[in-house]
Amino acid sequence: MANVAVILAGCGVYDGAEINEAVLTLLSLEQQGASYQCFAPDREQLHVINHLTGEVVEGVTRNVLVEAARIARGNIKPLTELNVTDYDALVVPGGFGAAKNLCDFAVEGAQMSVQEDFLAVARGFHQADKPIGLICIAPVMAAAICGAGTECTIGNDADTAAAIAAMGGVHLDCPVTEARVDAAKKMVTTPAYMLAGQVSEAYAGIADCVKEVLALA
């Protein structure tokens, strides 16, 4: 049985992990016979968004790990406790948290930097020749993790694809129900809510992503 590390970037599509993507990832792992452990960075998230209005909530701070614990039902550990040798693969659901709390793509675009603690862990999996699955917007970090020429997808958004190319990645168009695999880099990506209009569409692509990650493991 493969044992998979899942990194969550908070709780909520606009400022954390996309909840449907996170739950569908865990469901897919379980359905396909893998075990998993959730992790999250123990630090303040970029900002707090009112998910009803879409507006920034001024004067309020939230912790990424504490918020992610909502999704994991409390069964979650700080990212600093993630030991690559204990796991066979890494999967990162999307949501703006991936682009705000794991990196700053949401602010800096192609000039982004990836959080050092997350980057060290992700590169650790790559250097250990273990597969990585990135979902939704998270694939913007693919080249930073696995190097120039890494193939990935966020679906078909032209601006985001251009940013990926500017950062050294190779973008592949992909329908919502599928994943794309860079077998050489052991990188698997799927668009999920970059394209999904329904939960079932996101589920199809995420399940395919998980299947390919486990096959590489």
Rounded Cα distance, 32 and 210, in Å: 8
Write the pLDDT tens digit of every residue in 145-171: 999 999 999 999 999 999 999 999 999
Q: Which CATH architecture has domain 3-216?
A: 3-Layer(aba) Sandwich (3.40)
Question: Left if phi > 0, otherwise alpha if psi is -120 to 50, otherwise beta: which for 20?
Answer: alpha
The structure tokens 């970037």 sit at 9
- In one letter, which amino acid is 128? A
Neighbours of 211 (CB within 10 A): 16
Contact 152, 109 (CB under 8 A): no
Structure tokens at 124: 């650790």
Percent of the chain with pLDDT over 70: 100
Write the pLDDT tens digit of every residue in 172-206: 999 999 999 999 999 999 999 999 999 999 999 99
- Inform me whether the pLDDT recorded for 21 exceeds 90: yes
Predicted pLDDT of residue 161: 97
DSSP 164-189: HHHTT-EE----TT--EEETTTTEEE
Write the pLDDT tens digit of every residue in 60-71: 999 999 999 999
For the chain, the average pLDDT equals 97
- Angle, CA 27 vertex, CA 8 and CA 118 arms, to 5°: 20
46 — pLDDT class (breaks 50, 70, 90):
confident
Structure tokens at 71: 């999704």
Is 146 an annotated catalytic residue?
A: no
Contact 180, 209 (CB under 8 A): no
Q: Catalytic residue, from 136, 146, 174, 209: name it.
A: 136
Predicted pLDDT of residue 106: 95
Rounded Cα distance, 89 and 155, in Å: 23
Q: How many CA atoms lie within 13 A of 215 on its CB side?
A: 12
76 — pLDDT class (breaks 50, 70, 90):
very high
Q: What is the pTM of this model?
A: 0.97
Predicted pLDDT of residue 82: 98
Rounded Cα distance, 131 and 211, in Å: 11
Q: Is 147 helix (H, G, I), strand (E, B) or coil?
A: coil
Predicted pLDDT of residue 145: 98
Sketch the domain layout of the chain as residue ranges.
Answer: 3-216
CA 131 to chain centre: 13
